[in-house]
């Protein structure tokens, strides 16, 4: 119904402040409600023992060794957070990122720990190469054409291997983040070929290049050693139609969940994707830089972290995200309980 077909009322008979007088009434009339079950919590795992190393640019976020991961996932599960998103930092990096598809890779070991310590916890894995390659790019580097770039199709094959390896080690869902063309189709085919038809894919469909991933690259030790990611991630000023096209391609290739990333500077894209593809669950990644900015300002007493973080994640959900990946997942779960 459009607002022309009925009266929205007029002052002084209608007073909009009336609905805002009582805290219960404000709650009764809310359209957006956060709950811990809609959040995914990113975790960074590395080798060693007793390692709980804070990321300097991301206070409250740590690189964890497997024994620390075990404690962490018990806590996350108890808080009722929707699940975890696992990132691995291998002991050794090489040109193809072989650790990422090895049975004994850091993510595979992590999954076995998670499934033992918190069997009910939903475990998603980031499927990409930048943390595993010595050059820090999201795929295999090819110089055969005279230009240095990530070879899309050679990367697809390895993405399939990585996804199958993660799923066999216990991943409940895989989340390819490298923005390779055809990545969802290649992974679906590889999973199905390995009788892993039940494992869903959450595709980082519209992932934009830019400055917001800076702190993450410290956390995941994944800074590109040359160049940048602009030949595969989207341009922030691209026509929004390109984000829709990326998303449509991923859905056609079998994506079960699609994603927009980063969230905050791209809420128009979140809203547009949500309206264009109703019925396709949409995730939005509240990325590292969005977290660090708030942390830095809060540390100076300039803003109230709890209020601002709650507002940010509420905004992301209001824009249309059904899942929010956020470093505040544990905090929010606690705040929502209190």
Q: Which two tokens stand for residue 27?
A: 């709650």
CB 16 to ligand PBG: min, Å = 38
Indicate which residue of 161, 207, 295, 330 is catalytic. Answer: 207
The residues with which 206 forms a beta bridge, in sequence order, are 260
Considering the complex, state which of residue 70 and residue 221 has its C-beta at the smaller distance from ligand PBG.
221
Whether 189 is a known active-site residue: answer no
What does the alpha-carbon distance between residue 91 and residue 89 come to, in Å, rounded to a whole number? Answer: 7
Binding residues for ligand PBG, rule: CB under 6 A, are: 126, 128, 130, 177, 213, 216-217, 222, 229, 287-288
What does the alpha-carbon distance between residue 333 and residue 217 come to, in Å, rounded to a whole number? Answer: 26
Considering the complex, state which of residue 53 and residue 276 has its C-beta at the smaller distance from ligand PBG.
53
CB 219 to ligand PBG: min, Å = 8
CB 250 to ligand PBG: min, Å = 16
Considering the complex, state which of residue 272 and residue 290 has its C-beta at the smaller distance from ligand PBG.
290
Residues 6+ apart with CB under 8 A from 117: 69, 70, 73, 74
What does the alpha-carbon distance between residue 212 and residue 138 come to, in Å, rounded to a whole number? Answer: 17
DSSP one-letter code for 320: T
Considering the complex, state which of residue 132 and residue 277 has its C-beta at the smaller distance from ligand PBG.
132
What do you get for the CA distance between the two ends of the chain, in Å? 38
Strand 123-127 with 141-142, pairing: unpaired
**Residue 38 backbone phi and psi in degrees, to 5:** -100, 5
Q: Which two tokens stand for residue 60?
A: 């409250």
User: Cβ–Cβ contacts within 10 Å for residue 117, how many?
Assistant: 16
CB 258 to ligand PBG: min, Å = 15
**Residue 86 backbone phi and psi in degrees, to 5:** -95, 135
What is the Cα 239 distance to its own chain's centre? 23
8 Å CB contact between 232 and 178? yes
Indicate which residue of 161, 261, 295, 330 is catalytic. Answer: 261
CB 32 to ligand PBG: min, Å = 23
Whether 261 is a known active-site residue: answer yes
Considering the complex, state which of residue 59 and residue 276 has its C-beta at the smaller distance from ligand PBG.
59
State which residue has the least CB distance to ligand PBG: 216
Stretch (H or E) spanning 44: strand 39-46
CB 144 to ligand PBG: min, Å = 24
Considering the complex, state which of residue 58 and residue 317 has its C-beta at the smaller distance from ligand PBG.
58
Nearest to 167 by CA among 121, 116, 103, 214: 103
Catalytically active residues are 207, 261
């Amino acid at each position: 119904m459009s607002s022309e077909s009925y009266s929205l009322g007029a002052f002084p008979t209608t007073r909009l402040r009336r609905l805002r007088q009582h805290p219960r009434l404000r709650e009764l009339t809310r359209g957006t409600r956060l709950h811990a079950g809609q959040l995914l919590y990113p975790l960074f795992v590395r080798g060693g023992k007793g390692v709980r190393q804070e990321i300097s640019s991301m206070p409250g976020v740590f690189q964890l060794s497997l024994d620390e991961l075990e404690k962490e996932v018990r806590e996350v599960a108890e808080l009722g957070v929707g699940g975890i998103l696992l990132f691995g930092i291998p002991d050794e990096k090489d040109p193809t990122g072989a650790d990422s598809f090895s049975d004994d890779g850091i993510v595979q070991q992590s999954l076995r720990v998670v499934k033992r310590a918190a069997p009910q916890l939903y475990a998603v894995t980031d499927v990409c190469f930048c943390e595993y390659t010595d050059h820090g790019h999201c795929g295999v580097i090819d110089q055969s054409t005279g230009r240095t770039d990530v070879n899309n199709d050679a990367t697809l094959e390895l993405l399939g291997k990585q996804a199958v390896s993660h799923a066999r080690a216990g991943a409940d869902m895989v989340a390819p983040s490298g923005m390779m063309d055809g990545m969802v189709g290649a992974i679906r085919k590889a999973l199905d070929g390995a009788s892993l038809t039940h494992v869903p894919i959450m595709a980082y469909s519209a992932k934009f290049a830019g400055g917001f991933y800076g702190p993450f690259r410290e956390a995941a030790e994944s800074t590109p050693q040359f160049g940048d990611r602009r030949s595969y991630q989207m341009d922030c000023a691209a026509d929004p139609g390109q984000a829709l096209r990326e998303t449509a391609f991923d859905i056609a290739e079998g994506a079960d969940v699609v994603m927009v990333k980063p969230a905050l500077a791209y809420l128009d894209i979140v809203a547009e994707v949500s309206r264009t593809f109703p019925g396709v669950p949409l995730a939005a990644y509240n990325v590292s830089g969005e977290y660090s900015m708030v942390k830095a300002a809060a540390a100076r007493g300039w803003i109230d972290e709890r209020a601002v973080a709650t507002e940010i994640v509420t905004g992301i959900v209001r824009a249309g995200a059904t899942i929010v990946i956020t470093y505040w997942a544990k905090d929010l779960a606690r705040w929502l309980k209190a």
